[in-house]
Structure 1
């Protein structure tokens, strides 16, 4: 583990410094979307004007551009406040930046004090104690999201074709020196849904999500979050869904809009390059937003060695 035990260091109430544990598998300077998503979720809940007796029922993220590893500023605003609901927006902007890189809109609902009828139980999966720890897919750097999270599959694996069921647990807190909250555990793992199951061959297709929506059916509890078989829609631009559970039962459902494209790219003056392992599914945005620079890839190496995502 690194010198700072946490995904972020708190500078003050609205400023944070991202650590190496936020690093994703596709670019050494960009974060995995899970930690910043959890940071925005916490900002919605801990803001000074947050009303007691309410919880997040849904939170939708717009991932506008890669989230850099560095100093970040968080801002929140209430878009609508009613007697039983409120809508809160939270934004994440690089320090000194002119525009946010991630924006979240959360629907908070009033929590009823009286008892409510039990709901039909969702999918039941073996507990994490019955599954062994497994490494993440090959990543070309030592520290990052893949070392800050523990993963245990009860079905499938990161690099296996087909449905997968995976328990995930944080090894470090969201903010160094601060207690891990149940919502942190859910949101840190939420963006990993399209990484635990593969319906199509990652050697031919990659899937990139520009948004993420998490529905919370109840207060999350416990230290493990479980992603249950991820379902991708058919077609070029279709949503994927990933229900999730705790040992006590289902607590959320995730939805992300995925964009499919070919997994083979060509660099000028070089033969086509394919990204092996789990890295192939998170190579970057499609179209004009981001592209992969393959000039530093070494043929035959499993994963990105010197390649990087460029604007």
Structure 2
């Protein structure tokens, strides 16, 4: 780790093994005194990868990552514990739990599969996205508050539409202060942005936070850009789904799904003095 790496702003600071303190850059879009799930998801992957390194595992590939959000994720110190629940030479299952103030707030599981050469039969993926380099930036912070959204370099592909947006997202920030995180952790740290780029209804009038996020990969992501080709659907009974085709600069890498709870924002009572 070079001296310059210690001067880069970050989403988290390590307190000790398994314990992290979020910075203001991790603050959420629905409430700025909560963590945005996107960088926390990346932090969980970072913790999983450190756990796998400590076991001196062979080169295994993350195939599926699932995150269940169990409740409010306060902008406070968090502890991440990781265990291997199904060890194996070719298939392995790893589980992580995030705890804040002695309360479990996230459970995550990852299936890892042994890599092998299947290039002779590879195919079926969607078309690649155009490069982000010539695209104009998008100030998403005009729609959403919070330090996380403000930290992003976001570049839409075409014009964003209600419920349908394609965009590239990147960040100059480190995941953990003074630490080198891997390409997958950095990539996953941006995926949850998807639920905020294809807004169907103004977030000042409607709430639609996700209660989970699942990511299925058929290729290991590379590079600093995460491509999100996102569709948001609201049902008629309070349920919604955000579906995203995931890309890096070399093309598509997999898919993400998020289950949404859709409900109107609570009406604020106006006092006589403020009327």
TM-score range (shorter-chain normalised) is 0.7 to 0.9
- CA, structure 1 residues 31+202, in 2 after alignment: closer, same or farther (shift >3 Å)? closer
Shift of 1:68: 1.9
| Residue in structure 2 matched with residue 294 of structure 1 by the alignment | none
Show CA shifts across 1:261-286 (max 9, x none): 224x2234559xxxxxxxxxxxxxxx
Within-5 A mapping of 1:59-70: 59-70=65-76
| Residue in structure 1 matched with residue 90 of structure 2 by the alignment | 84
Show CA shifts across 1:89-136 (max 9, x none): 101112xx2221111111111111575433134133221012111211
| Residue in structure 1 matched with residue 10 of structure 2 by the alignment | 6
Show CA shifts across 1:156-184 (max 9, x none): 34xx5242111001210101122342112
Q: Give the aligned CA root-mean-square deviation in angstroms.
A: 2.5
Q: Secondary structure at the match of 1:192?
A: helix
| Residue in structure 1 matched with residue 218 of structure 2 by the alignment | 217
| Residue in structure 2 matched with residue 148 of structure 1 by the alignment | 151
Where do 5+ consecutive residues of structure 2 fail to align? 1-6
Show CA shifts across 1:74-94 (max 9, x none): 101112123321111101112
Shift of 1:148: 2.0
1: CA distance between counterparts of 2:240 and 2:118?
A: 40
Which TM-score applies when normalising by structure 1? 0.77
1: CA distance between counterparts of 2:240 and 2:267?
A: 26
1: CA distance between counterparts of 2:179 and 2:137?
A: 26
Shift of 1:140: 8.2
| Residue in structure 2 matched with residue 258 of structure 1 by the alignment | 260
Count of matched residue pairs? 265
Which TM-score applies when normalising by structure 2? 0.86
Corresponding residue to 1:105 among 106, 109, 114:
109
1: CA distance between counterparts of 2:144 and 2:156?
A: 22
| Residue in structure 2 matched with residue 181 of structure 1 by the alignment | 182
The answer to which structure has the higher helix fraction is: 2
Whether contact under 8 Å (1:58, 1:108) holds in the other structure is yes
- CA, structure 1 residues 99+25, in 2 after alignment: closer, same or farther (shift >3 Å)? same
Higher relative contact order (CA 8 A, sep 6+): 2
Shift of 1:46: 1.4
Whether contact under 8 Å (1:196, 1:230) holds in the other structure is no
Where do 5+ consecutive residues of structure 1 fail to align? 272-297, 300-311
Q: Secondary structure at the match of 1:93?
A: strand
Q: Secondary structure at the match of 1:164?
A: strand
Whether contact under 8 Å (1:185, 1:224) holds in the other structure is no
Show CA shifts across 1:177-205 (max 9, x none): 22342112321111111211134565654
- CA, structure 1 residues 41+27, in 2 after alignment: closer, same or farther (shift >3 Å)? same
